[in-house]
Amino acid sequence: MNTDTVAANALIRAAIGNAAVESYGLSHQILILEFRDDKPADHLLSLGEIKVSSNVVVDEGLILNEEERVLLLFSKVNLRSVTEVHCDDEANLTISFDNGVQLHFSGRSHDGYEPWQLGRALDEGGYLVIAQDGGGYAIWDCTQEETH
């Protein structure tokens, strides 16, 4: 496992490993999942143009576009707690929840840009993990900085 993958995993596990989905939806036409824990600021997962899959089967009889299908999957994890989260060297992200649902976020974007990013406001002792298309991570971590 690459060193940036190890660092990304450590940070995202510490960040949302004990959090729950607070809300989901669209923000400025970007799919988001918002996680809440016992800290004052929430964690925000923003998705680029990527494939989202799950162990939950969406009824083929429903006529849904891709965005609607993903929002339906997100509804299955609303207010559910994260039980496991990890990413790999190809920037794929998997999040498992306490109801058995797993969401898989591709590390490849359709447009060649960042597939996903997870973070909390840096000015509040936060962090930011940006997945690079096809592998690698850009990481900013202010969680260990002392405030005076």
* Residue 147 within any structural domain of the chain: no
What distance in Å separates the CA atoms of residue 136 and residue 13, rounded to the nearest whole number?
17
* Residue 148 within any structural domain of the chain: no
**Domain total for the chain?**
1
Burial 68-89 (b: 16+ CB within 10 A, else e): eebbebbebbeebbbeebebeb
Q: Are 115 and 130 in contact (CB under 8 A)?
A: no
Q: Please tell me the predicted confidence (pLDDT) of residue 86.
A: 97
Q: How far is CA 10 from the centre of its chain?
A: 14
Q: Please tell me the predicted confidence (pLDDT) of residue 146.
A: 45
* Residue 44 within any structural domain of the chain: yes
What distance in Å separates the CA atoms of residue 35 and residue 33, rounded to the nearest whole number?
7
pLDDT in tens, 99-127: 999 999 999 999 999 999 999 988 777 99
Splitting the chain (148 residues) into consecutive groups of 10 residues, what average pLDDT does each group show? 95 95 95 92 95 89 89 96 98 98 97 95 88 96 65
pTM for the predicted model, two decimal places? 0.93
Q: Please tell me the predicted confidence (pLDDT) of residue 145.
A: 56
Domain of residue 22, residue span: 3-141
Q: Please tell me the predicted confidence (pLDDT) of residue 83.
A: 98
* Residue 146 within any structural domain of the chain: no
